[in-house]
Amino acid sequence: MNVLVTGGAGYIGTHVAVELSNAGHGVVLLDSLANSHAEAVRRVERVTGREVAFHTADCTDPVAVDRVFTKHTVDAVVHCAGLKAVGESTEQPVRYYRTNLNAVLTLCEVMHAHGVGAMVFSSSATVYGDPETVPITEDMPLAVANPYGATKLFAEQVLADTTAATSGWSVIALRYFNPIGAHPSGLIGEDPHGVPNNLFPYISQVAAGKRDKLSVFGDDYDTPDGTGVRDYLHIVDLARAHVAAVEHLADASGYRAYNIGTGTGVSVLESIRAFERASGRRVPYEVTARRPGDIATCYADPSAAERDLGWRAELSVEQACADAWRWQSANPNGFAGG
């Protein structure tokens, strides 16, 4: 199968490309490079030992996207492109709505024009908002606590409506919990531009001495140690979930959504300690005020993905910390280091 991966030079997209290639699929990558680096594509080629077709283009540009579909045979799309920081979305909501929703609308239009009706969509556990109970199942009410989550929820609705209106379309939305870690080779990993928006790359930079300390946003949540609890998922496990979803698109037409997580919650303080053990470095931190849009506890019931897609998480938080530290140590300046 030939698979177009949007956001293919990004953190998730590169790992998805590696696992798709390892599974024998053809891969075409598309990325605007607004929050990524072309070196990441070259690293994918090093990891897989195969050349990768890559196009620098923005998913919101219908002409550029159409050009990719015209040049390549595309059997399915894995849509990873988009803005993804919860905190930033509360500060720049219009930018998030315009970018993330325009991207999915443009892709649907171009896919329809080229007779392609198969997509795996990168969604998020943020579509559940602040859940009343955990673990979270796919049939729980959908509500959002921030603009980023709203863009994912609205995009899911667009895709559900499109599959209902278009014969033969098959879309699987993967509701990610919290991807962490890096490829065990140390060649690809999370490379945030500027100040990291996510916990683990920030922890990595503190451990490496690039930043003085970590800010822990609140220690007064209703959790065992007062800090936020999340379902941290090794990026390689997440990438393999995409392969499983791609390979099950033909099972049924219509729209389906699956939680992709480990089913276990880990707090911020537990995460810090796990990284300290993996790196052998101390991670200084200070507790600050809660961050707007954050919730106390969020972890998955991933049993539906195992039942329907044959996927389950196999790698631990400790392995993710070790792989993230390997990536950080070998690439102190990220992909910009060459």
- Active site positions, annotated: 148
Using CB atoms within 10 A of its CB, is residue 42 exposed (0-12), middle (13-18) or buried (19+)? middle
DSSP 156-172: HHHHHHHHHHSTT-EEE
Please state, as a whole number, how many other Cβ atoms lie within 10 Å of the Cβ of residue 225: 12
Long-range contacts of 135-144 (CB under 8 A, 24+ apart): 135/263, 135/299, 135/300, 135/301, 136/259, 136/298, 136/299, 136/300, 136/301, 137/259, 137/301, 137/304, 138/175, 138/257, 138/258, 138/259, 138/304
Amino acid at 252: A
Q: Which two tokens mark 24?
A: 């024998």
Amino acid at 208: A
Residue pair 302/136 in contact by the 8 Å Cβ criterion: no
Which residues, 6+ apart, have CB-to-CB distance to 207 below 8 Å?
275, 276, 279, 281, 282, 283, 325, 328
Strand pairing of 266-267 and 229-230? Answer: antiparallel
Number of alpha helices (DSSP H) and beta strands (DSSP E) in the chain: 11, 14
